[in-house]
A and B are shown apart, each in its own frame.
Chain A
């Protein structure tokens, strides 16, 4: 029996969505840990890119910033932002991008900018950073969040990064380069998107949680398919690799990304 925390489960689960040979935008936090874990296990030949300018990176320990020199040692090219977000991402070369968010709606649209009304914000969050660019132009988007009812909302306080916007046809309307979010992974469940409506659909529930737990923790009508399997548990190898990558538990010790 493998022992794991919620955060370890989340990172291990997310890492399985990365496929070998892909061009991946890693960022920082849990998304980066998931991408690095994939690279150390089943997807050794991913090209890990940081928007600050590092290409084909092989960090030995987790960087704390997209510009951290820990991304530098062993990378094959170290350039800049127009290179990564422009020539690489906007030109359509990124297979998968990872994002987190403070709020998500039923179409996978994300808020990372404000809690409360725009005119009088209660909490200023980090903002888009490269998030909007990645959500607009990465071929696939993997969204990672800790599960909290207040984050799965009917109406975002602010739409920072595009998911499937208003549903079928809306990404095409704005000529967005990427195809939008593919999965949403939390510490409670995995969700994907119903191909007909592009609304969030439950995909699998993690061990120890029920479908009702998930329903109790979203504020929109989640699509529930007839068959909801239990998510695979992490392997001991995945747990060990994660702790080697994050020896000070900077990400593993935290509640969110």
Chain B
């Protein structure tokens, strides 16, 4: 469904609700030349960049946070195979908000005075502008809004008409889900409409925005999904270690992504006893 060359808003934030199953499927389908727009992503960006699916990113952050640098991305950037247009988290969130509001740019008070203004990879003078505010005369930074081809967002539960509920934090997914031309929701669980209508304040994405829903349990493994499962720390540490070298990354790619037919086969490979141990304990959410 996603043609080569598409631009994607990529949902989730840090360790929370990253659409990793979707990233793996893009790799299996041998997609090429995708551009990713997000604040910060981790394992998902690492596999997309490592597998050569994504040569361009407009992001604020890529690393495995507490565990360390994004090794695949570091290697691909050094090889000159990947270009990153750098923004801050607020700048990216404002670009999504602008896209969702259908206005061409948004102002913010970050970035000014730094190399994020002075330097650009491929957007050139379309990256951002610092202007004198026409009303107050103060310096203000303008960032271009984004309306990508697709928004990919992972939600805890969705009903048959597409109402999507997100628990815990939303990160930048409210703006991100509304800025794309098509919205694809990955969900842990399909629920009856009555469950949605029983707690409508949890519906962060009403069905009117939603184009497609995919039921994908454990879509974020080895990361977390609030209220459903914790991150798999041991697997994550293994992942971070194997990405240090191209050979061991290629082995991982062959074993856990290309070597399985689909996400279900991936989960079987990880093993259900292991996955069951990650299930969240109420009410703590992990």
Contacts and interface: CB of A to CB of B under 8 A. Distances in A.
A248 to B, nearest CB: 9
A67 B66 CA distance: 12
A70 B144 CA distance: 34
A73 interface: yes
Contacts of A173: 113, 139
Contact of B171 (A80, A129, A162, A177): A80
Contacts of B286: 68-70, 72
Interface string B125-162: 00000100000001110000000000000000000000
Interface string B50-67: 000000000111110111
A72 B231 contact: no
A51 interface: yes
Contacts, number: 202
Interface in B64-89: 65-67, 69-70, 73-74, 77-78, 80, 84, 86-89
A251 B12 CA distance: 24
Interface string A130-169: 1111001100000000000000000000111110010000
A238 to B, nearest CB: 21
Nearest to B236: A64
B111 interface: yes
A122 B78 contact: yes
A69 B283 CA distance: 11
Nearest to B67: A64
A66 B112 CA distance: 24
A28 interface: yes
Interface residues of B, number: 66
Interface stretch (B19-27, B172-180, B181-189, B260-268): B172-180
Contacts of B231: 64, 68
A212 interface: no
B156 to A, nearest CB: 12
Nearest to A70: B286
Nearest to B18: A67
Nearest to B71: A124
A202 to B, nearest CB: 25
A121 B233 CA distance: 30
Interface stretch (B2-10, B29-37, B114-122, B251-259): B114-122
Interface in A156-214: 158-162, 165, 170-171, 173-177
B168 interface: yes
Contact of B88 (A70, A72, A120, A131): A131
B168 A78 contact: yes
B113 A113 contact: no
B48 interface: no
A247 to B, nearest CB: 13
Given A73-B284, A81-B39, 9 more contacts: A29-B66, A53-B169, A68-B14, A69-B284, A69-B286, A82-B172, A136-B111, A174-B113, A175-B112
6 tightest CB-CB pairs across the interface, nearest first? Answer: A53-B169, A67-B14, A65-B15, A67-B16, A126-B63, A129-B61
20 contacts: A64-B66, A66-B65, A68-B224, A69-B280, A72-B169, A73-B285, A81-B170, A86-B90, A113-B115, A124-B77, A127-B63, A128-B86, A129-B61, A130-B60, A136-B111, A160-B115, A162-B112, A171-B113, A175-B109, A176-B109
